[in-house]
Amino acid sequence: MINSQIQPQLDIDTIIKTFKSGEKKSANFQIGLEYERVPIFNNSNIEADYASNDGICNFLRDIAKNCNWDYIVDNTNGNMIGLKKMHDTITLEPGCQVELSIKPEKHISDLKNKIETLDDLMWVYLKTHGINLLNYGISPVTTYNSITLIPKKRYHLMAKYMWGILSDVMMRETAGIQCGIDFSSEEDMAKKFNIAQKLSPFMTAMYANSPIRGGVDTGYKSFRALSWLNTDNDRCGFANKFENDFTYRDYIEKVLKTPMIFINRNDDTINLNGKINFNDFMNSPNYTATMEDFELQANLYFPEVRLRNFIEIRNHDCVNKNLMWSIPAIYQGIMYNPSALQDMEEFLKPFSFEEISELRYSIPKYALDSEIKGIKVSDIAREILNIAEKSLKEFSPQDVKYLDGIKELISQKMTPADVILKNWYGSWNKDINKLIEFAKN
């Protein structure tokens, strides 16, 4: 037990202020992006590890040494877990997946230029270490039992605690693309948050890109999405039931009810192992909860759409560079144009929470071939793109071009996974090397 009265006990009103601080005028709205990729050694196709001579740790050390980036270290053991420079970071997910997180920008072209600049910088050192980063949603060869967690204490506690049958797959093998959007008020947040949740299974289907795992066809178009369905239902899934009166407090209370995995105290990590939720923790005389405790708890809550002082949309497989920019383009077109937001709300209104929740269990296997209320998801995807494209043509015409790649696929009722599977059983003849070459682009 931690018994400290150094600072006053945290309360919900204080937490609400941190969410409210994200409110912006619409003229200042930006788009954020987090971009994860699986690293593999070129000479073996196995997932790159952390500690070997040519591993990810030394790759990051070379960048820090030669390009003036600062270390990000685990405060419990001093191990390097990433790099930072100004607002940009290169960090590691549990299985050594490399994530780029960059400062949000108003225009997608600025995000694209920054990612390309970082990729050019990293490529010099990736080449030296014989590593490549794959634009693919899951490790194509190495499975979780052969992937060692990076030496970050929180990941080891998470791996021991999370009880889903595919939680190890999610943590060690998968890679995704996350998009961040802004809101102007609590009401605007609620509307965007609910629409983002309703969109999530359809967007997961459109960007399904993880059918081959462990060198074989899994029978799923997004094995990554399947792994999230089987990770930890206490902290995954939907954060609410699409309530129109959804508030900051509602979201916070959902986080408060989630079992706690650990807390940080005095540069150490203390295992709580789900024995207490944050609400009990915050009201217990045996603990003094801090804002840092809440931020940690919120970061260990993994819904499809997550609320910070922006809205984080988390449900897309990593895809190739021809497609990835369509993800923020779709959200920019829908979320930042009031008429498009209204059109999307009306379009999705017939689908209930229960129907969309059930759809999530069909999407990993069937993607665009799934149905809801007798309607093919491929037809819904086409209308989502129509609304986004019409909006972008009106208020951000320079970004319409980023929809071209996904429009072409959807017109053929195909996902990135369908392209891979067509080649897998065709010209590739189930050759994993050809998949990996394809995924390097």
339 has a pLDDT exceeding 70:
yes
User: Computed from CA positions of residues 147, 149, 155, 156, in that sequence, does the dihedral angle turn out positive or negative?
Assistant: positive
Average pLDDT, integer, range 29-53: 97
**Unique residue bearing structure tokens 């590739």:** 428
Rg of the chain in Å (alpha carbons):
21
Per-residue model confidence (pLDDT) at position 1 = 38
Per-residue model confidence (pLDDT) at position 6 = 53
Per-residue model confidence (pLDDT) at position 119 = 97
Q: How confident is the model at residue 3 (pLDDT cuts 50, 70, 90)?
A: very low
pLDDT digits (tens, 9 = 90+) for 126-183: 999 999 999 999 999 999 999 999 999 999 999 999 989 999 999 999 999 999 999 9
pLDDT digits (tens, 9 = 90+) for 298-326: 999 999 999 999 999 999 999 999 999 99
Q: What angle do CA 101, 102, 103 make, to 5 degrees?
A: 135
Q: Which fold has domain 12-439?
A: Creatine Kinase; Chain A, domain 2 (3.30.590)
pLDDT digits (tens, 9 = 90+) for 257-306: 999 999 988 878 889 999 999 999 998 888 889 999 999 999 999 999 99
Average pLDDT, integer, range 39-67: 97
**Can you list the positions of beta strands (E) in 7-61?**
31-41
Query: Domain residue spans in the chain?
Result: 12-439
2 has a pLDDT exceeding 70:
no
97 has a pLDDT exceeding 90:
yes
Identity at 140, one-letter amino acid code: P
The mean pLDDT of the chain is 95
Per-residue model confidence (pLDDT) at position 7 = 60
